[in-house]
Copies of this chain bind each other. A is one copy, B any other.
Amino acid sequence: MRLADSFRSERFGAVRIHELQRVIELDSGAQADAGRPALEAGSRIVPPDALRAVETQLVIVVPCMNESRTVVEGVLSGIPHDCLLVLVSNSDRHPVDRYEIEAQTVEQFCRLAGRPAITVHQRDPGLAAAFKAAGMEELIDDAGLVRAGKGEAMLIGMALAAMTGRRYVGYVDADNYVPGAVHEYCKAYAAGLFLAGSPYSMVRISWHSKPKLRDGRLFFSRRGRSSEVTNEWLNRFLAEYSGFGTEVIATGNAGEHAMSLDLGLKLRLAGGFAVEPFEYVDLFEQFGGVLDSAHPDVMNSSVPVVQIETRNPHFHDNKGEEHVQGMRMQALNVIYHSPVTLPALRAAIAEFLVAQGALLPGQEPPRERIYPPVGELDLDLLFDGLDAEALSFRRFDGRAAAGLPPAPPIDRGTIPRAAA
């Protein structure tokens, strides 16, 4: 993969946010292997071997809710073979058990492709029990189940990723009609994680365009309705500190993103759709140098955030205006309530929300749910609980089905526990 080089970045404490880098070539050939310079004329090649080395350490988590079999199968086909698949479903189980259909789709794909996968249903009582035993009661709702939000699905996925002993986790939404876009996201994760050159790194995707229906024809929109607002306020957050306006953040709402587990296990994830923008906020809180960090090792290193503009259109189901409005508000809520947000910005956010009719004058924006870091979980107990009680917890080994040496068992004890 060849990326445009990133010449500028913004620093906030140990966090270094690189400006958006375009993908120039999806496949840049093998020539870097042949002693070719990796950096040339404003672009940077990540050769196949380097991509592969990351992919063999990369878990791809697919949060899934009521997608059709065809769409799910397409997404799976786009995920490079060497990545490990984890599907976290919050699909309906009645009147039809859509999770069973999804699990069958994954199993069939794994058998054909000779690869392993893990699936689990977010609302499985056994999963809730396992998380409770592992020390994260916050995740459980009044019905005794793991809460239904997207952030919660991502948290489950990260915990499963941590169990596998791999080094990286990335997310790909299941509602993607273009397998080639999924493929590009995964390659961009691998390229970005390779280029980041730090054990604590994150890659966030900005899609090239989003096809929308407008007056009966297709229009390729460059910007998401929610992203513009989220990015603007995250950039204003930085500008309040630096005194210089910036547009460096282009991926505030990026559903497609990946990170090293060394970083991910330290992050606190937010619930629902606050999860993606809150990753930036939590980076600022934990590694921004404003508050004392619980991780001096990270502060002595750096936390690069690589942002990549992919080539493919992001072509997915239209979730409607309500969904977008909700995402926007949740992003602003988490910025508003962050202890590192400066008072002037907080006031401006409240004013904006009032002007939008989302808040009454004098009210405070609601607080979003923030979970403790996944690294604080007792993963041994989590695994034992899943194994014993979660009926939806499946581990497919398509390699064994294809007569190959089985995949390494997905159990505990393979990953070094994150420093508490």
Contacts and interface: CB of A to CB of B under 8 A. Distances in A.
A149 interface: no
B111 A41 contact: yes
Given A25-B77, A36-B404, A180-B184, 4 more contacts: A4-B112, A26-B78, A77-B311, A213-B218
A80 interface: yes
A23 interface: yes
A413 interface: no
Identify which of A208, A218, A401 gathers the most chain B CB atoms within 10 Å of its CB. A218
Contacts of A36: 404
A370 interface: no
Contacts of A78: 26, 180, 311
Q: Which among A70, A111, A402 has the highest number of chain B CB atoms within 10 Å?
A: A402
A52 B30 contact: yes
Interface in A151-206: 177-181, 183-184
B213 A217 contact: yes
Contact of A220 (B26, B42, B81, B177): B177
* Chain copies in complex: 2
A24 interface: yes
A25 B113 contact: yes
A57 interface: no
Given A41-B114, A114-B41, A213-B216, A179 B30 contact: no
A178 B313 contact: yes
A112 B180 contact: no
A49 to B, nearest CB: 8
26 contacts: A24-B109, A24-B112, A25-B81, A25-B113, A26-B78, A26-B179, A27-B81, A29-B80, A29-B82, A40-B402, A40-B403, A41-B401, A41-B403, A42-B112, A48-B48, A70-B220, A77-B311, A78-B180, A178-B178, A178-B180, A180-B180, A180-B181, A180-B184, A213-B213, A213-B216, A213-B217
Interface of A: 2, 4, 23-31, 36, 40-43, 48, 52, 55, 70, 74, 77-78, 80-82, 109, 111-114, 177-181, 183-184, 208, 211, 213, 216-218, 220, 311-313, 315, 401-404
Q: Which 6 A-B pairs have the closest CB atoms?
A: A180-B180, A29-B81, A27-B80, A179-B311, A41-B402, A29-B82
Contacts of A40: 114, 402-404
Contact of A312 (B113, B178, B220, B401): B178
A22 B183 CA distance: 17
A5 to B, nearest CB: 10
Given A217-B213, A311-B77, A183 B113 contact: no
Nearest to A80: B27
B28 A113 contact: yes
A387 to B, nearest CB: 27
Contacts of A112: 2, 4, 24, 41-43
Given A41-B112, A177-B211, A220-B177, A2 B312 contact: no
Interface-centre pick from A43, A181, A311 (highest chain B CB count, 10 A): A311
A308 to B, nearest CB: 13
A113 B2 contact: yes
A27 B82 CA distance: 9
Contacts of A183: 26-27, 180, 183
Contacts of A28: 81, 113
Nearest to A398: B41
A231 B319 CA distance: 38
A14 to B, nearest CB: 32
Contact of A180 (B24, B26, B42): B26
Nearest to A27: B80
A42 to B, nearest CB: 7
